Chains A and B, each alone.
Chain A
């Protein structure tokens, strides 16, 4: 009987190893028996310690992360398998329990391939066995990208993340920029400028490396007048170069650099100066692999040319966050660093998307972050909230212009989703035609919200009023702010609505000073720290800042600090709100890391007495600021 689905499964499998090594007939036998599994983000396929399943897996769409569980029960991402990558092959090789956990990093579709059918078909195929053994041993699943991925040994279970990294193959730059040994320094410098690089390798006529010129050579030998600008490169290059073989580990690369006091290693075919140049390993490459410093991560982000690379850079920020929290670095600082990284990721994602667009933007535009990204207080991955403002265009060009920006936004939100920022459930995204509009339309939209406040308008205001420009023409976002504040001056009703919204979640301490926990079924007995503590503070800060006509400050704790200056009567309350906000954010983030979620719901029972007290101390300002709002906006009769 005809089986169209099996045929389509085959069409996919045949593109990737090891299945590309099979005959079509054999592969069809396998395809017929495949199961198609749908995974929501966070769904787990198998966990460490689970008994071997009868299938192994290939990602069809999306991404599945493989996690190594550490001694203290925290998890660390070893690898993310993307479309076409095989994983969970331990049962194929050894009848043992799984050592890693496989969880969907985003919504994914996975093919489960039955081992019995697979082995029956492939038992005599030496090349397939070889591929699987290699894949198993190195996790370098895909021979096409093995080098690029700089994959890690799955089976070697390290004690710390540093261990893994040190023995990882160094991720060097392939096809480095070179110049011929007989060219002039000026030509070399032009090449360096065009490619935006800091060093160039000088090669002879058979492409063996003979020397290297760096920025400092030009500074020291040309700019000082030692040599004229048209001198041949061999006059000023550093020679000979230090070479190494492909497959060098990070630790080795670093050692070589320290030993020779250099920042660049030339990778050659056989590892000597007398063979062809295949790549360059720079000190920066080493730092990137080791990298857990914000500067290195930021640099990696600005250099990323694909979403996959952005994702790995952003994942590093998560371990950075973890170590910051462990070291008790002030939350204000952590938030700033993470906000900067998130903004950089978004900017880069937009730049990559712009390159994919068939033409340049028809008019200037501004990509704005909303909600917590707009307030620059994201720590863990959160939902995407963003929008586009574009310049006003004549009516007959409006649709065309909007279509262009919607296409752009679709590319950007898709890649942000791949990186780890989930789509906004409520579609508060630039890819939604409602939130991708011209400046005039935005002004109109805010005017509507302000002059005709209703439930819906207030719900949206709490997200849209905290916007900040991320990419593009900032004057557009400023013009919008100007217009908003102008309209606000005329409306007092709107503030009342906002105030009512800010106190809708009552002070979280109940009558007997018990935590008010959730009553609904799913989160029963859990304490919603976001709705009950953090959001009231955020809402209060926004409202008071808008009312005070204070501009340019979006961050909640900074807003309170500013309020303390402009309204000294309540100085102490504002300071304690600012402090409470930071402490609560930290609390939420720590819980989030612990439970691998947003940290929104806290099981009060699981907290230590000390933690409970700490949390309780933060609740007092929440209560007090709500009382202030009630009086200031005269809500007694309004509720």
Chain B
């Protein structure tokens, strides 16, 4: 019984925004891809170590049926004590830059409110998922419950069977070049999120041409 007690107590302690987030998952999954809301997102971090490094910025765009509304995009900058000078040359976020920065808790709150229970798309999604989960962990919350699609893996499915190489990792730059997506604002979180969204849509179009498109096909097992 101790376990149950621990469980219910813990649940009581959760802040409202986390409970609201969990509530979103009570509704049934929308079966029609054409009116499902997708969210493409990206994080800029101080490095690649899940425990040591921190998220400096989260960028996301959302879209329904091939239409991305600019005023529905998300762009968060986060105050962090961890700062690594060597990563600045990649993401360009200075420690004391003038952008409005949020605390990590404020940022994750805004992020959860934005993503709701919708489907998340990211390039090399495992990394971004882990970084977000680490934030949640630091604030005593559970893990992300959203479904994830990795654009790299999805792209691999669209490659003709003659050339397919399941092992090959594709960089976002490679995909953007291959699919003719304009590379602007590379290495800002929102810019990469937009590129990821377009890469996703273009890959989907390739798959759809061969009428493979259904949820089972889209979702990793």
User: Which residues of A does B touch, CB under 8 Å?
Assistant: 1-6, 8-9, 11, 31-40, 43, 60-61, 107, 109, 112, 414, 425-427, 432, 434, 456, 459-460, 520-522
A426 engages B162 (CB within 8 Å): yes
Q: What separation, in Å, do the CA atoms of A9 and B69 have in the docked complex?
A: 12
In the complex, chain A residues whose CB is within 8 Å of the CB of B99: 2
The 6 A-B residue pairs with the shortest CB-CB distance in the complex, in nearest-first order: A36-B68, A38-B201, A40-B205, A38-B66, A4-B190, A426-B160
Q: Does B182 contact A (CB under 8 A)?
A: yes
Of the A-B pairs whose beta carbons lie under 8 Å apart in the complex, a sample of 24, sorted by A's number, is A2-B77, A2-B99, A4-B75, A4-B188, A4-B190, A5-B70, A5-B191, A33-B71, A35-B68, A35-B70, A36-B68, A37-B67, A38-B202, A38-B205, A40-B208, A60-B182, A61-B182, A109-B182, A109-B198, A414-B180, A432-B163, A434-B163, A456-B162, A459-B162
A35 engages B69 (CB within 8 Å): yes
**1/0 contact string of B199-214 vs chain A (CB within 8 Å):** 0011001101111000
Shortest Cβ distance from B189 into A: residue: A4
B182 engages A33 (CB within 8 Å): no
Q: What separation, in Å, do the CA atoms of A1 and B107 have in the docked complex?
A: 13
Contact of B211 among A35, A107, A522 (CB under 8 A): A522
CB distance from B38 to the nearest CB of A (A): 12
User: Which residues of B does A touch, CB under 8 Å?
Assistant: 59, 61, 66-71, 73, 75, 77, 99-100, 160, 162-163, 180, 182, 184-185, 188, 190-191, 194, 198, 201-202, 205-206, 208-211
A107 engages B205 (CB within 8 Å): yes
A8 engages B184 (CB within 8 Å): yes
B70 engages A6 (CB within 8 Å): yes
Q: What separation, in Å, do the CA atoms of A460 and B160 have in the docked complex?
A: 13
B75 engages A2 (CB within 8 Å): yes
In the complex, chain A residues whose CB is within 8 Å of the CB of B180: 61, 107, 414
Q: What separation, in Å, do the CA atoms of A31 and B71 have in the docked complex?
A: 9
A3 engages B163 (CB within 8 Å): no
Q: What separation, in Å, do the CA atoms of A61 and B68 have in the docked complex?
A: 15
In the complex, chain A residues whose CB is within 8 Å of the CB of B198: 38, 109
A32 engages B75 (CB within 8 Å): no
Q: What separation, in Å, do the CA atoms of A5 and B210 have in the docked complex?
A: 32
Most buried by A among B70, B73, B77, B160: B70
B59 engages A4 (CB within 8 Å): yes
Contact of B75 among A3, A31, A414, A520 (CB under 8 A): A3
In the complex, chain B residues whose CB is within 8 Å of the CB of A34: 70
Q: What separation, in Å, do the CA atoms of A109 and B208 have in the docked complex?
A: 18
Q: What separation, in Å, do the CA atoms of A425 and B205 have in the docked complex?
A: 11
Q: What separation, in Å, do the CA atoms of A456 and B205 have in the docked complex?
A: 25
Most buried by B among A2, A6, A414, A426: A2
Contact of B70 among A32, A434, A520 (CB under 8 A): A32
User: A1 and B70 in contact (CB under 8 A), knowing A425-B160, A426-B162, A434-B163?
Assistant: no
B75 engages A521 (CB within 8 Å): no
A5 engages B194 (CB within 8 Å): yes
In the complex, chain B residues whose CB is within 8 Å of the CB of A3: 70, 73, 75, 190
Q: What separation, in Å, do the CA atoms of A61 and B206 have in the docked complex?
A: 17
CB distance from A380 to the nearest CB of B (A): 17
Q: What separation, in Å, do the CA atoms of A8 and B209 have in the docked complex?
A: 30
A5 engages B73 (CB within 8 Å): yes
In the complex, chain A residues whose CB is within 8 Å of the CB of B211: 520-522
In the complex, chain B residues whose CB is within 8 Å of the CB of A434: 163
B185 engages A8 (CB within 8 Å): yes
A39 engages B210 (CB within 8 Å): no
In the complex, chain A residues whose CB is within 8 Å of the CB of B209: 425
CB distance from A376 to the nearest CB of B (A): 25
Q: What separation, in Å, do the CA atoms of A35 and B69 have in the docked complex?
A: 4
Q: What separation, in Å, do the CA atoms of A456 and B66 have in the docked complex?
A: 35
User: A4 and B70 in contact (CB under 8 A), knowing A427-B163, A434-B163?
Assistant: no
B160 engages A33 (CB within 8 Å): no
Shortest Cβ distance from A410 into B: residue: B177
In the complex, chain A residues whose CB is within 8 Å of the CB of B202: 38, 107
Q: What separation, in Å, do the CA atoms of A582 and B212 have in the docked complex?
A: 33
Q: What separation, in Å, do the CA atoms of A60 and B180 have in the docked complex?
A: 12
In the complex, chain B residues whose CB is within 8 Å of the CB of A40: 205, 208
CB distance from B197 to the nearest CB of A (A): 8
In the complex, chain A residues whose CB is within 8 Å of the CB of B75: 1-5
In the complex, chain A residues whose CB is within 8 Å of the CB of B163: 427, 432, 434
B71 engages A32 (CB within 8 Å): yes
In the complex, chain B residues whose CB is within 8 Å of the CB of A39: 66
In the complex, chain B residues whose CB is within 8 Å of the CB of A112: 67
Q: What separation, in Å, do the CA atoms of A8 and B180 have in the docked complex?
A: 17
Contact of A36 among B67, B160, B184, B206 (CB under 8 A): B67
Q: What separation, in Å, do the CA atoms of A36 and B190 have in the docked complex?
A: 14
CB distance from A80 to the nearest CB of B (A): 17
In the complex, chain B residues whose CB is within 8 Å of the CB of A4: 59, 75, 185, 188, 190-191
Q: What separation, in Å, do the CA atoms of A426 and B210 have in the docked complex?
A: 11
Q: What separation, in Å, do the CA atoms of A5 and B59 have in the docked complex?
A: 10
Most buried by A among B59, B73, B210: B73
In the complex, chain A residues whose CB is within 8 Å of the CB of B208: 40
Q: What separation, in Å, do the CA atoms of A4 and B184 have in the docked complex?
A: 10
CB distance from B94 to the nearest CB of A (A): 14
Most buried by B among A5, A35, A109, A456: A5
Most buried by B among A9, A32, A37, A460: A37
In the complex, chain B residues whose CB is within 8 Å of the CB of A5: 61, 70, 73, 75, 185, 190-191, 194
In the complex, chain A residues whose CB is within 8 Å of the CB of B70: 3, 5-6, 9, 31-36
Q: What separation, in Å, do the CA atoms of A337 and B183 have in the docked complex?
A: 41
- Other than A36-B67, A38-B68, A427-B162, give 17 A-B pairs with Cβ distance below 8 A: A2-B77, A3-B73, A3-B75, A5-B185, A5-B190, A5-B191, A5-B194, A6-B70, A36-B69, A38-B198, A38-B205, A39-B66, A112-B67, A425-B206, A426-B162, A434-B163, A520-B211
In the complex, chain A residues whose CB is within 8 Å of the CB of B188: 4
Q: What separation, in Å, do the CA atoms of A34 and B73 have in the docked complex?
A: 11
In the complex, chain B residues whose CB is within 8 Å of the CB of A459: 162
CB distance from B208 to the nearest CB of A (A): 8
Q: What separation, in Å, do the CA atoms of A43 and B99 have in the docked complex?
A: 39
In the complex, chain B residues whose CB is within 8 Å of the CB of A427: 160, 162-163
Q: What separation, in Å, do the CA atoms of A5 and B211 have in the docked complex?
A: 32
In the complex, chain A residues whose CB is within 8 Å of the CB of B185: 4-5, 8
Q: What separation, in Å, do the CA atoms of A426 and B70 have in the docked complex?
A: 34
Q: What separation, in Å, do the CA atoms of A9 and B211 have in the docked complex?
A: 33
In the complex, chain B residues whose CB is within 8 Å of the CB of A6: 70-71
Shortest Cβ distance from A3 into B: residue: B75
Q: What separation, in Å, do the CA atoms of A460 and B100 have in the docked complex?
A: 57
A425 engages B210 (CB within 8 Å): yes
In the complex, chain B residues whose CB is within 8 Å of the CB of A32: 70-71
Q: What separation, in Å, do the CA atoms of A2 and B67 have in the docked complex?
A: 21
Q: What separation, in Å, do the CA atoms of A2 and B190 have in the docked complex?
A: 10
Q: What separation, in Å, do the CA atoms of A34 and B99 have in the docked complex?
A: 23
Q: What separation, in Å, do the CA atoms of A520 and B212 have in the docked complex?
A: 12
CB distance from A342 to the nearest CB of B (A): 22
Shortest Cβ distance from B72 into A: residue: A35
Q: What separation, in Å, do the CA atoms of A15 and B66 have in the docked complex?
A: 25
Q: What separation, in Å, do the CA atoms of A384 and B209 have in the docked complex?
A: 16
CB distance from A519 to the nearest CB of B (A): 13
CB distance from B217 to the nearest CB of A (A): 13
CB distance from A83 to the nearest CB of B (A): 10
Shortest Cβ distance from B99 into A: residue: A2
CB distance from B136 to the nearest CB of A (A): 23
